[in-house]
Amino acid sequence: MNNQPEQTSSVESSESTNGPRAGRSGRNVGLALVGLAIMVAVGGAWFALTGGAADHRYVIPKGTAARLDNGELIEIIPRELSLKAGDTLTVVNHDVADHFVSVTQVPAGQTVTYEFPSPGVFDGACTVHPRGSVRIDVT
């Protein structure tokens, strides 16, 4: 016979089967919903403040004027750009020469940002496109 005492394990709980776990789970769902609501509110505010506007950015690298003078065909900006009202066009000119992009001149070493607040079609010269012109269609 084994004279060692029998080991038993018993856990007594006064909590029901739906005890604190169910409460914590419900609280976690509630917190998740509050977090989601905050994210939606912040996203909506951001969209309202920015109007969903986009910045179309192009960079004219150093040496572009020399390449053009050597007869090289360069297309930094597409022949046609499609923008939405409120969008901006930013052109960064790292070259030593001024360049023209439709509605604006971009001086050497400068950055120019032009906003298109309302719909329209803008045709103009473009010194960084092989055809020498660009059309900006704003809807």
Clarify whether residues 95 and 62 are in a common domain.
yes
Instruction: Output the pLDDT for position 52.
Output: 72
- Residue 113 maps to a domain: yes
Clarify whether residues 71 and 106 are in a common domain.
yes
Task: Strand 88-93: give its sheet, edge to edge.
Answer: 55-60, 88-93, 111-115
Clarify whether residues 96 and 41 are in a common domain.
no
- Residue 2 maps to a domain: no
Total number of domains constituting the chain: 2
pLDDT below 70 — which residues of the chain? 1-26, 30-51
Instruction: Please give the span between the terminal C-alpha atoms of the chain, in angstroms, as a whole number.
Output: 94
Instruction: Output the pLDDT for position 109.
Output: 98
β pairing state of 88-93 and 120-125: unpaired
Closest CA to 127 of 83, 80, 88, 76: 76
Clarify whether residues 69 and 131 are in a common domain.
yes
Q: List the CATH number of the domain containing 85.
A: 2.60.40.420
Clarify whether residues 47 and 71 are in a common domain.
no
The residue segments making up the domain with residue 81 are 55-138
pLDDT digits (tens, 9 = 90+) for 71-85: 999 999 999 999 999
Instruction: Output the pLDDT for position 28.
Output: 72
Clarify whether residues 125 and 76 are in a common domain.
yes
Q: What's the rounded Cα separation, in Å, for the pair 92 and 113?
A: 9
Instruction: Output the pLDDT for position 4.
Output: 43
Is the pTM for the entire model greater than 0.75? no
- Residue 82 maps to a domain: yes
- Residue 4 maps to a domain: no
Strand partners, 81: 136
pLDDT digits (tens, 9 = 90+) for 28-51: 776 666 666 666 666 555 445 556
- Residue 3 maps to a domain: no
8 Å CB contact between 95 and 128: no
Closest CA to 136 of 116, 113, 112: 116
The CA-CA-CA angle for residues 103, 105, 110, to 5°, reads: 130
